[in-house]
Amino acid sequence: MKKQFLSLAMGVAILAMTSACNSNTSDSSMGDTTAVDTMMADTSMTETGVEVGGAMMVPSKNIVENALGSNDHTTLVAAVKQAGLVETLSGTGPFTVFAPTNAAFAAIPKATLDGLMKPEMKADLTKILTYHVVAGAVKAADLTDGQELTTVQGGKLKVSIKDGVVMINNAKVTIADVVSSNGVTHVVDAVLMPN
């Protein structure tokens, strides 16, 4: 009987220890989850970025993720999707993108823009969009007056700087140095057209 009592007492003790460990583990993991959630919330609150089109563009997002938040770049995002460039511009890069606004696209005749968005015009649309992309992360401080940048499309972009105003071909940079996880975006007020 003494043996049974000891066995039973040991079993109860082990069960109690196991329950205590499990409750500590779940309390601890809940605490860790809460700490991670709090840290993530703190990071997103403290992460600095640039406001574009009513949304904060932050370095933790890639170029496409940031562009998706901008109300000023819905036409550009639609064109990038139509050309099949989302995966490329979401890649590691780094890329520099000169991003025309909706107003810049609106300056193109509607029939021309509508035509470019047709599936059979994908190659032409891709050429135009890749003319807005340069390999590497080129910030405003890296640009010099008279500089030529080679685009992913293979064409050249001419940089002009006068009285602090940066022009890329005929487009004015309206917001510079929008840093993303895979490069830099500069908002421009005109669509750049390759020769």
* pLDDT tens per residue, range 115-146: 999 999 999 999 999 999 999 999 999 999 99
Give pLDDT tens digits for 62-77.
Answer: 999 999 999 999 999 9
Sheet with 165-168, side-by-side order of all strands: 133-135, 95-100, 183-188, 171-180, 165-168, 156-162, 148-150
Q: Is the peptide bond before 94 cis (omega within 30 degrees of 0)?
A: yes
Q: What is the CATH number of domain 50-188?
A: 2.30.180.10
